[in-house]
Structure 1
Amino acid sequence: MLVDLYYAPYPGQRFAGEAETISPVRVLNPKSALATLAAGTRSFLAQWGVEAQLRIIDTQVDEDEPVLYKSFDYGPRVIECLRYGGVFERYDTTLREADIIGISNNFTNSAGSVADFAKHAKAVNPKALVVGGGMDATARPEWYLDNGFDVIVQLDGEYLFAKVIEAVAKGQPLTQAAFCREYNGGYIVFGGPSLKMDELEPMALDLVTNYQDYNDTGEGTPPQNVATPFICFESSRGCYRTCSFCATPMRGKYRHMSPEAVEKHFAYFREMGIRNILFQEDNILSRLQRSGRGTMLHRSGREEVFEIFRMAREYGFSWEFANGLEFGKFLDLGQPDLELMEHLFWSDRSGDIWRGCYRVQIPLEFLGDDPTSKFNKLRGFEEELEILDAMLDFGVTYQTFNVLIGHDGDDRPAIDHYLRRSLQLREALLDRDSRVVPYFNVYNRTLLPGTADFRNKHERLEFDIEENPEVISVYLSPMSSDHLSYYDLLDERLRMMRELNGDLIDQYDGIHRKPLIETSG
């Protein structure tokens, strides 16, 4: 059995006549999805006595000319959709060799590129089973089965994908190997056992060609003495929060590794030469979650967090929190939790290589007057400033802030208010420490399939996402607020980005920054 796992070419959208893309194109951001899947899958196959060779092929790192594959109208403009990476034909030899072709996709705006690659794979090798997985495939399996795929594996894929491989290897019907639902001649595979995080094998970096070359953190350029290679890592899955815009609740209840299991991964990373960790899990601080009565849900959770970052320090890693932190937890004790901050934000810059934390991404998300009414994990603005001020004492001078606009009631005065709050925060930090590099990711509210927002408000979408899934991106607005059109909201996002970040946009994202509407601020 030969099983090939692919990342399809990277999607990028631009306005016709413009050079820069609307969203960042990050082909060298370390990718953990397939290396994690391969490690777990091969462990199950070994237990079951199934022989299979797995390969990971990242088409995104190959430097062919971008391919324009479609365009669609967006307000008075036209958006062109491109694929970045290798042209499909480059992979025809490996596609013909495979018995199973797996393609991962987490993001709706990648769906067009992914589906086109699946169709090409099927045309080149009609006998191969084309299998899809990832968060968007989990949320919209029927769309993928209508667009080139034979099988969709939902949610955690390690066990269920291994069952698919086992069925093919033994010539068994898939329906005998796993719970399935048939659709349009294909199968949706679901219902595998909940994965125990302590049993998760270290990712199969031996299958990743030139992983040392992945040097994009997913944010701006890191400090010069942050050393490569980089790796994305999650020590937990799920989250106690159920934010309406987030797809994480689909992943099930919160599960996390013990410090002993985390050390197994850290030791493997060092063995493979990894120097920098991008913590990408949804909420590492969920270990500190409290019940409604204020008691800790995990008695040893606080000490476990301390132990994990003591180990990260001892192994000599640098790190950033690439998917944000629920930083309101730093005030759970009534004042800034300096002990917790010391463990997460410790750094040593005395040598040639930065050790410890160098950047934190912080989900401000809503900068209205009552943020907890929108998302109960948030804190009031003055409390946020108190936490951020305390963080500076630990040398966290690279701070990235996520701000959402396009809430139902947003109008221009509301967005002006968000801008003033962001400017106030930026100036307060710079007054405190002139070395601070604050960067604001201003995102348009979108409706991700699988979220509560999508279930409750999908009729507000201005686009048919089955035809144009590329519009489901935080860099584009796919819907209007009660007062502003989707096109106005994109222009407001660009206005905020320009005023808050200036030339840092080129360093961090390198994306379109021109106003859409001549009369805009």
Structure 2
Amino acid sequence: MKILLVRPPVPKHTIGLKHIMICEPLELEYVAASINGHELMIFDHLVEKGFKKRFKDFNPDVVVSSCYKTGTNEVIKIFRYVKTIAPKCITIVGGVHATLVPEDFADISVDIIGIGDGTMLLSEIINAIAQNQSLLDIPGVAIPIRKGELIKSPKRPYMPKADTLPLPRRDLVKHLKHKYYYLMHKPVVTMKTTWGCWYKCNFCFTWKITDGLPYSRSPESIVKELLTIEESEIYIVDDIFLINNSRLEKLAKLIKAHNIKKNYLCYARADFIVENEDVIKLWAELGLKAVFIGLDAITDEELKDMNKQSPAHYNKLAIEILRKYKVDTYGSLIPGADYVKKDWNKLWKFIKESKLYYVNISPATPLPGAADYKNLKPYLTVPEDAHDLFDLSHQLLPTKLTKKQYYRELLKLYGKTILNMKRANENTFRTLPSIWTINYWNIILGAIKIGLQFYNGHNHHSEKELMISRYKGIELKDYSFNSKFNHPSFQNFVTKEVSFTEDMANAVG
């Protein structure tokens, strides 16, 4: 079979990193790695154009996509287009949001939903389709039977042991590698060494998606992958990479033994950095260039409300330690919906005193799957299917300031922090290029584009713009659940356990 793996485009209203970073579609590279005996192609909407022509030229039997919540409607748009051109083409969606809220993909255009990590699951689904076997014999599968409703197979563990995963198929996007970058790290390769998280912050779903159980690769497995990578810039996308002392020390020894010369950017918690300065020193010598820290808030009260389990004063200490070893801090901050001008001023004071330059200021966005979502859901100011606004940049809860004032305060804080060359020169180390290079001005241009989005952010909440956010593509008027289940190409692999009788067909039509 021909299988087309598609990364959806960034939606119109989604604010943020698309203007200053685009990384490879690692999740698609992983699922491709376990599929053998079929013709595979990846289409990356973030850096490629001409999807419709590619689809028609390749003429796939199966189209697969994956996304976070923001991309939900984009995936459905793609699948609805696919069904208008090739109704027999099988559509499969997986990924984080499909695992958390599979019902959001219970659309006429979606044939199969994968729940859990797709690296091994997708290959099982593809084999079942090829052999005309029942899909619901496979744990972790859901099939839409009508809008918003699914049939599900038994639950499966989120993923197998991490060391059993194949290495991602980067060869499928090798022709695009010059387009993948993170700020000044270019070209950049993304790596994943742990799925899940050890902590239970109530605004985050990472720990919940794996049922509270992190899956980590061994140092030997990580080095095996590093030895296959030509590029020097490595972005480790684990939610927390710097966490296990013995693992990090063993990995460092192996990297030295194999004489691997790379530059690394990764994630860590402030408390680990403060309590393990020796690890920071060791990894700075190995090539650690930048560390993302979820600083999140600047007061103990705010951090306690987030269940952060780290004191506020550790944030400044962690930044100081990274500065000591000339490692840049990429700090994430979460301003609350109740912020007024004095709170924004306090945040600026913290940024200035801490000498932070690289910041990601993310309004507290309720996310399905997070521990606090159930309590915050009644207060959402936008519909749940306005998916592109759930981007950690829009404020979706009632604010004390007007929405316009809130976004302007956020924008001003970004401006004071980033659009200041003196601050940039004084407060950064290894990652800032010369102002005379094209890379520098590309980042500035990207920052300006993001600024324009924030400037107009309050308008995204209007009725007109919400209609655009909620749009799911063309209606499939000549295509129904009845016709799908009665079509030979679907009957061949639909469940043996559920018999689609005339009554059932009427119910789901």
What TM-score do you get using the length of structure 2 for normalisation?
Answer: 0.77
Q: Write the letter of the residue equivalent to 1:281.
A: D
1:458 alignment partner in structure 2? 377
2:304 alignment partner in structure 1? 373
Q: Distance in 2 between matches of 1:171 and 1:379?
A: 52
1:239 alignment partner in structure 2? 197
1:9 alignment partner in structure 2? 9
Q: Deviations over 1:185-222 (max 9, x none)?
A: 565566334310111111111222414313311xx224
The answer as to whether partners of 1:465 and 1:471 remain within 8 angstroms in 2 is no
Correspondences of 1:80-229 after superposition (within 5 Å): 86-94=49-57, 97-106=59-68, 108-146=69-107, 148-178=109-139, 180-184=141-145, 188=152, 191-193=155-157, 194-217=159-182, 220-222=183-185, 228-229=186-187
Q: Write the letter of the residue equivalent to 1:373.
A: K
2:281 alignment partner in structure 1? 342
| SS of residue in 1 equivalent to 2:346 | helix
1:413 alignment partner in structure 2? 342
Displacement of 1:172 after TM fit?
1.5
Higher strand share: 1
The answer as to 2:395 corresponding to 1:477 is: yes
Displacement of 1:140 after TM fit?
2.3
Q: Write the letter of the residue equivalent to 1:413.
A: K
Displacement of 1:247 after TM fit?
1.7
Change (3 A) 1:447 1:516: same
Displacement of 1:405 after TM fit?
0.8
Change (3 A) 1:119 1:419: same
The answer as to whether partners of 1:151 and 1:187 remain within 8 angstroms in 2 is no
Q: Deviations over 1:442-477 (max 9, x none)?
A: 1111112211122221111111121x2111112211
The answer as to 2:416 corresponding to 1:499 is: yes
Q: Deviations over 1:379-417 (max 9, x none)?
A: 444433223222222221x3221111125x433322322
2:19 alignment partner in structure 1? 25
Change (3 A) 1:492 1:309: farther
Change (3 A) 1:10 1:188: farther
Q: Deviations over 1:233-275 (max 9, x none)?
A: 1111111111111120212311211111112211222xxx232
The answer as to 2:212 corresponding to 1:255 is: no
The answer as to whether partners of 1:364 and 1:378 remain within 8 angstroms in 2 is no
Partner residue of 2:265 out of 295, 298, 320: 320
Displacement of 1:507 after TM fit?
5.8
Displacement of 1:371 after TM fit?
4.8
Change (3 A) 1:361 1:181: closer
The answer as to 2:228 corresponding to 1:268 is: yes
The answer as to 2:239 corresponding to 1:282 is: yes
Q: 4+ residue runs of structure 1 moved beyond 6 angstroms?
A: none
Q: Deviations over 1:318-338 (max 9, x none)?
A: 1111xx311211233xxxx33
Percent identity, aligned pairs only?
19
Displacement of 1:57 after TM fit?
2.0
The answer as to whether partners of 2:190 and 2:236 remain within 8 angstroms in 1 is yes
Q: Distance in 1 between matches of 2:9 and 2:120?
A: 26
Change (3 A) 1:159 1:254: same
Displacement of 1:182 after TM fit?
4.4
The answer as to 2:406 corresponding to 1:489 is: yes
What TM-score do you get using the length of structure 1 for normalisation?
Answer: 0.75
2:41 alignment partner in structure 1? 55
The answer as to whether partners of 1:360 and 1:399 remain within 8 angstroms in 2 is yes
Q: Deviations over 1:325-370 (max 9, x none)?
A: 11211233xxxx33211222225xxxxxxxx122222211011244
2:431 alignment partner in structure 1? none
Aligned residues: 426
1:511 alignment partner in structure 2? 449
Displacement of 1:93 after TM fit?
1.7
Q: Distance in 2 between matches of 1:368 and 1:319?
A: 30
The answer as to whether partners of 2:220 and 2:254 remain within 8 angstroms in 1 is no
| SS of residue in 2 equivalent to 1:452 | coil
> Mind listing any 5+ residue stretches in structure 1 that lack a counterpart?
15-20, 46-50, 63-85, 223-227, 288-301, 348-355, 430-437
Displacement of 1:89 after TM fit?
2.0
The answer as to whether partners of 2:8 and 2:45 remain within 8 angstroms in 1 is yes
The answer as to whether partners of 2:121 and 2:140 remain within 8 angstroms in 1 is no
| SS of residue in 2 equivalent to 1:210 | helix
Single out whichever of 97-106 and 179-188 deviates more from structure 2.
Answer: 179-188
Q: Distance in 1 between matches of 2:406 and 2:131?
A: 54
The answer as to 2:321 corresponding to 1:362 is: no
Change (3 A) 1:57 1:209: farther
Root-mean-square deviation (CA, aligned residues, Å) is 2.6
Change (3 A) 1:190 1:508: farther
Single out whichever of 108-117 and 205-214 deviates more from structure 2.
Answer: 205-214
Q: Write the letter of the residue equivalent to 1:212.
A: K
2:333 alignment partner in structure 1? 403
Q: Distance in 2 between matches of 1:163 and 1:13?
A: 36
2:318 alignment partner in structure 1? 387
Q: Distance in 2 between matches of 1:369 and 1:236?
A: 28
Q: Distance in 2 between matches of 1:510 and 1:216?
A: 18
2:440 alignment partner in structure 1? none
Displacement of 1:511 after TM fit?
2.6
| SS of residue in 1 equivalent to 2:77 | helix
